[in-house]
């Protein structure tokens, strides 16, 4: 298991690579050019410069998260081939600096969605929270509420210019059904697979978060059945998964350890986080400790261990502790993720030590 840490680059928050160096067991940095919007060209000099910073601190730059997919590809517009060509160009450039896995998602309009960035937990920490009743299924009403500033919705990576186009984007997706979105994903991957084989870079799709349709938009990577459908349709070892226990764990019907055992040979990147799911469908992110939430984290790690997992893993979103929400990105504080690493490695080490013990 190759432990990694997601880093947003110099000056983007208060966390530096020197902080990460002091966390035992971290071997790689999960990175990106975070100012790049979907469909934009990634310049080779910028890619090289970012990778050089990572390598200079003793880390591997093997995982990039995310190279975002342009909406024209997801919608299936005639212009999609232009944006796929740009994506292919980025893959070839990333291969030159040692990238082996690209984490991406195929969620329409929005990435992961929460209704509160800093919901307080009983211990005084705070975390990302999702209130199911606050999400309407009517796209026009939702666009009006978001643009009016109603609620505390977080739209990761959304520049103000794109937020102003919400009505236009909802309208563009009006005819995109689940089957059509799936067809467009398959088209995208079939274009990429020869280049992935050539460069030895694996595509690892991130599940939908939360794991059900929202805003009246389709979601197609949210369960055992939808994942199996994709892997069978594009049956190529370079088409794989980012298995996120927080995203898939938002739906208690998903048996996470069973899914890991089934898909382990196509899981190239593991996001491990814990969520506490309430009876009404709300959920909040909690510590990685298994008994704190609805995800049985020790059983998740055990499933990876028994499957001989050798891929990349990172602690996903954590709580904000000791006032760090003032200096960190929502969900991406230093302290709880560092403690999460030690918890995950502790479970892994105990399994290693128990090998051969009856």
Q: Where are the beta strands (DSSP E) in the chain?
A: 2-6, 28-31, 60-65, 101-104, 116-120, 126-130, 202-205, 239-244, 267-272, 274-277, 283-286, 312-315
Catalytic residue among 70, 271, 288, 320: 271
Active-site residue, 70 included: no
Q: Which of 316, 320, 328, 336 is catalytic?
A: 316
Q: Catalytic: 244? A: yes
Residues 6+ apart with CB under 8 A from 354: none
From the candidates 70, 206, 264, 320, give the one annotated as an active-site residue.
206
Q: CA-CA distances (angstroms) from residue 88 to 91, 119, 196?
A: 5, 40, 9
Active-site residue (options: 244, 320, 328, 336): 244
Residue 19 among the catalytic residues: no
173: annotated active-site residue: no
Q: Which of 130, 268, 312, 332 is catalytic?
A: 332
Q: Which residues contact 45 (CB under 8 A, 6 or more apart)?
A: none
**Residue 191, Cβ neighbours under 10 Å: how many?**
16
CA pair distance 258, 223, nearest whole angstrom: 12
Helix (H, G, I), strand (E, B) or coil at 347: helix
Strand partners, 31: 64
Task: Give catalytic status of residue 305 as yes or no.
Answer: no
Max CA separation in the chain (angstroms): 61
Handedness of CA 94, 98, 103, 106 (dihedral sign): positive
- Answer yes or no: 208 catalytic: no
The active-site residue, picked from 70, 264, 288, 317, is 317
Enzyme catalytic residues: 206, 244, 271, 316-317, 332
């Amino acid at each position: 298991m190759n432990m990694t840490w997601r880093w947003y680059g110099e000056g983007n928050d208060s966390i530096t690579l020197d902080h990460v160096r002091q966390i035992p067991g971290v071997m790689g940095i999960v990175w990106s050019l975070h100012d790049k919007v979907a469909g934009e060209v990634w310049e080779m000099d910028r890619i090289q410069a970012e990778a050089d910073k990572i390598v200079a601190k003793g880390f591997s730059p093997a995982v990039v998260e995310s190279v975002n997919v342009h909406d024209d590809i997801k919608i299936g517009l005639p212009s999609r081939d232009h944006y796929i060509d740009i994506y292919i160009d980025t893959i070839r450039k990333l291969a030159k600096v040692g990238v082996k896995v690209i984490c991406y998602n195929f969620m329409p309009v929005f990435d992961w969605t929460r209704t509160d960035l800093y919901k307080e937990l009983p211990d005084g920490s705070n975390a990302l929270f999702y209130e199911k009743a606050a999400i309407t299924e009517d796209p026009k009403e939702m666009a009006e509420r978001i643009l009016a500033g109603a609620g505390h919705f977080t739209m990761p990576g959304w520049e103000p210019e794109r937020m102003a186009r919400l009505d236009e984007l909802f309208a563009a997706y009006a005819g995109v059904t689940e089957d059509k979105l799936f067809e467009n994903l398959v088209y995208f991957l079939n274009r990429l697979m020869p280049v992935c084989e050539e460069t030895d870079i694996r595509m690892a799709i991130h599940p939908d978060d939360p794991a059900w349709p929202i805003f009246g938009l389709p979601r197609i990577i949210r369960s055992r059945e939808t994942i199996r459908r994709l892997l069978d349709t594009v049956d190529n070892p370079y088409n794989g998964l980012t298995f996120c226990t927080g995203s898939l764990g938002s739906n208690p019907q998903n048996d996470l350890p069973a899914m890991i055992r089934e898909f382990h040979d196509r899981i190239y990147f593991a996001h491990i986080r814990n969520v506490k799911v309430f009876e009404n469908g709300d959920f909040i992110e909690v510590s990685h400790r298994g008994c704190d939430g609805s995800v049985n984290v020790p059983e998740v790690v055990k499933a990876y261990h028994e499957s001989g997992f050798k891929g990349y893993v990172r602690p996903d979103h954590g709580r904000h502790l000791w006032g760090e929400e003032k200096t960190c990105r929502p969900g991406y504080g230093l302290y709880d993720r560092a403690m999460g690493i030690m918890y995950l490695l502790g479970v892994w080490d105990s399994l290693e030590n128990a090998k051969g013990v009856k």
